[in-house]
Amino acid sequence: MIWIMVASFILGVFALVGGAEALVRGASRLAAAAGVSSLVIGLTVVAYGTSAPELGVAIRAALTGQADITVGNVVGANILNILLILGVSSLLAPICLSQELVRRDVPLLAVVSLALFLLSVDGRLQRYEGALLILGLIAYTRHAIRRGRESGEEAGYPAALTEVQVAGHDGWLRHIALVVLGLLLLAAGSALVVNAAVSFTRAFGVSELVISLTIVAIGTTLPELATSALAARRGDPDITVGNVIGSNLFNIMGVLGTAALLSPGGLAVPLEAVRLDMPIMITAAVALLPVFVIGAQLERWEGAFFLGYYVTFVAYLYLRGTESQALEGYTRAMAGFVIPLTAVTLLALIAARRQARDQRARSGGDG
């Protein structure tokens, strides 16, 4: 029985990843064949396409009444994107960012994460709130496209995602077939993953929220991990971080917004997620501000710092999911030592980077 659940989950993850890949390739090539610029393709199809697995799982879970899976998947994926994916990517190579991304998109993620928390404190995302989130995503996308056109910069996504070789009618049919195949794989994969997650909770007595924060989140963020790691190795830092920031924004506004619209009476949000997990998600987003705004670069040691925090978070979820007696002591240690130490470290980091920036400015002025 357990092996069947594991096999079903793995098969579902492969279907989600394959479906996202087919959808991104087919839609991007159709758009390029229709004369849409690679910038627009990169900002829309590619950036949001890597979050297609999260959307597929959210829709399936919303329609079957598993709200905990929807919320847990999004919150877990957003935490994983920042702490694990950026941590791994920065270990491969220090990540430098454009000032435009630092000044606009990183602060926006912190604001949107906080807004989600405020909308969820009553334990439910109403349908009109879901509609507002979707409208916010549309406005952000339009602004990003306009901003890209005005700057005249290309998105810089891998050529394989935007290169089109259309051979008449047959070429169009192949691209349409890729889109259809991607949608079918996403539907099948999301059903397998959601059903496996429910089976895990029943077999091991672990809550759907904890399973979704860990196993489901890891499975659905594989496209983001692959894209960001590849970009880091190729020396494309804006793609590395842009993919993470864009995916997190899409997860909150697009995935949860859609789930709230589809759920009768709105999307129920577990109070446990509001009290414990969303604050961690907000903290991860806020932690990017001093790292990027002051220095505009994520160093290797800072990436290791992020990875350490993700391991700490997963250990906390394990203790919580198994209702371990060590959970209370672990939580006290986190609240009394780790979190204050983090705050002091971030303040010291801000001061050190500001001092280094001022020294560079004075050196430039003297020169």
Kindly tell me the burial class for residue 61, based on how many C-beta atoms sit within 10 Å of its own C-beta (0-12, 13-18, 19 or more): buried
Q: What distances in angstroms separate CA 164 from CA 30, 39, 173, one per listed residue? A: 8, 14, 13
Q: How far apart are CA 146 and CA 144, in angstroms?
A: 5
Q: What is the pLDDT of residue 365?
A: 60
What pLDDT shows up at residue 130?
96
More confident call, 312 vs 240: 312
Please state the φ and ψ torsions of residue 95, each to the nearest 5 degrees: -105, 115
> 2-324 falls under which CATH superfamily?
NCX, central ion-binding region (1.20.1420.30)
Whether the predicted pLDDT of 167 surpasses 70: no
The residues spanned by each domain of the chain are: 2-324
Q: Are 69 and 195 in contact (CB under 8 A)?
A: no
Q: What is the mean pLDDT of residues 304-317?
A: 87
Cα R_g (the chain), whole angstroms: 21
Q: Among candidates 317, 311, 268, 247, which has minimal Cα distance to 81?
A: 247
pLDDT of residue 351: 67
Residue 158 has what pLDDT?
45
Mean pLDDT within 176-187:
83
pLDDT above 70 (res 267): yes
Give the per-residue pLDDT at 154. Answer: 47
Cβ burial of 312 (10 Å; 0-12, 13-18, 19+) is middle
What kind and span of H or E run contains 96? strand 95-96
